[in-house]
């Protein structure tokens, strides 16, 4: 706790984000569902990545960096928010995207509005971004700049610290509402968000199981990444480590592929919009909600559950899905 509070941090989140009951959705699926609205974190159009960026930008400033280098796909909510956070902190943002230049829509348009330096690898392999970030960082250093390099999704132990802090916020809200959920559901991509929640649930002995739904990679790989990042966050924050059950990540909801909408996800997104007036992005939140809806309707959800709305709505305006 002391280490968490003493880490350099740039305040970016409009906290606390709301924790709201979803009564009409609950009636439709047969389970008591609550929504933790981290699509309302405040920076840009909101999203879960803002929480990790508070600590990553704090670290960058503490190291005397003058620019931030990261990347992903052209429709990445992470990259767009990283660019805005860098601008808010006085750093120049450099974004590296896989693929080739395309018409700016959705998050790519918002990234360009931030006047980030945007580059493309020319390759369709997501991993090409990782090499390009390192190369660009070396080039900037050679010119006298002081770059801060962050991997895709901010997936580092320090980036996971944002959701350790969020878990403390959620614990206060649950106490105020007299709520003891059995599960906390979320979409799992780069795995830092779930890692922070897992590390915090072990420390706080939270009443809920953290249930990730893989939207990016095989479930076994997600489990390994979440475990490694959660252990890393525990060390970085010097948290008391409490033994816990294994990490839970559900597969089977990726659909046609990463960054592509699925029929099940689209149906879940329409259901949430119709019942609660909340928009889910088509390739992360919608797929995770599809998994929750299936579990609830099959009677596999016991007691109240919380669903983490992670944002990413600008991808709704990106035309054909993809390039996340």
Q: What is the dihedral of CA 9, 77, 284, 203, to 10 degrees?
A: -10
Return the CATH class of domain 2-48+156-317. alpha beta
Give residue 3's pLDDT.
Answer: 74
Predicted confidence band of residue 318 (pLDDT cuts 50, 70, 90): confident
DSSP states along 248-276: EEE-S--TTSTT---HHHHHHHHHHHHHH
The domain locations on the chain are 2-48+156-317, 49-154
Model pLDDT for residues 34-46, shown as the tens digit of each residue: 999 999 999 999 9
Give residue 322's pLDDT.
Answer: 44
Q: What is the pTM of this model?
A: 0.96
Give residue 323's pLDDT.
Answer: 42
Assigned token pair, 63: 């190291």
Model pLDDT for residues 11-67, shown as the tens digit of each residue: 999 999 999 999 999 999 999 999 999 999 999 999 999 999 999 999 999 999 999
Instruction: Please tell me which residue in 76, 201, 206, 214 is annotated as part of the active site.
Output: 76
In percent, the amount of the chain with pLDDT more than 90 equals 92
CA 281 – CA 287 distance, rounded (Å): 9
Give residue 244's pLDDT.
Answer: 54
76 has catalytic annotation: yes
Phi, psi of 316 (to 5 degrees): -65, -20
CATH code, residues 49-154: 3.40.50.1100
The whole-chain average pLDDT of the chain stands at 95
Instruction: Please indicate whether the domains covering 2-48+156-317 and 49-154 agree at the CATH topology level.
Output: yes
């Amino acid at each position: 706790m002391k280490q968490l509070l003493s880490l350099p941090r740039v305040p970016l989140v409009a906290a606390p984000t709301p924790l709201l009951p979803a009564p009409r959705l609950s009636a439709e699926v047969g389970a008591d569902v609550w929504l933790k609205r981290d699509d309302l974190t405040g920076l840009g159009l909101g999203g879960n990545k803002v929480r990790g960026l508070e600590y990553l930008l704090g670290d960058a400033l503490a190291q005397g960096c003058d620019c931030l280098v990261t990347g992903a796909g052209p429709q990445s909510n992470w990259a767009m928010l990283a660019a805005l956070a860098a601008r808010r902190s006085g750093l120049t943002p450099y974004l590296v995207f896989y693929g080739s230049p395309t018409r700016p829509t959705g998050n790519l348009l918002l990234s360009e509005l931030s006047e980030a330096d945007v580059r493309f690898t020319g390759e369709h392999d997501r991993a090409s971004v990782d090499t390009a970030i390192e190369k660009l960082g070396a080039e900037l250093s050679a010119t006298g700049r002081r770059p801060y390099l962050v991997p895709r999704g901010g997936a580092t132990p320090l980036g996971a610290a944002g959701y350790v802090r969020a878990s403390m916020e959620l614990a206060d809200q649950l106490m105020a509402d007299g709520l003891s959920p059995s599960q906390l559901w979320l979409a799992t991509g780069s795995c830092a968000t779930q890692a922070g929640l897992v590390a915090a649930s072990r420390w706080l002995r939270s009443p809920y199981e953290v249930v990730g739904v893989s939207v990016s990679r095989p479930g076994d790989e997600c489990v390994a990444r979440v475990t490694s990042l959660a252990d890393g966050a525990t060390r970085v924050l010097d948290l008391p480590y409490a033994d816990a059950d294994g990490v839970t990540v559900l597969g089977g909801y990726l659909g046609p592929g990463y960054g592509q909408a699925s029929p099940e996800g689209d149906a879940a997104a329409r259901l949430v919009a119709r019942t609660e007036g909340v928009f889910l992005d088509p390739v992360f939140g919608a797929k995770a909600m599809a998994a929750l809806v299936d579990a609830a309707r099959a009677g596999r959800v016991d007691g109240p559950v919380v669903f983490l709305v992670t944002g990413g709505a600008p991808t709704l305006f990106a035309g054909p899905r993809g390039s996340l």
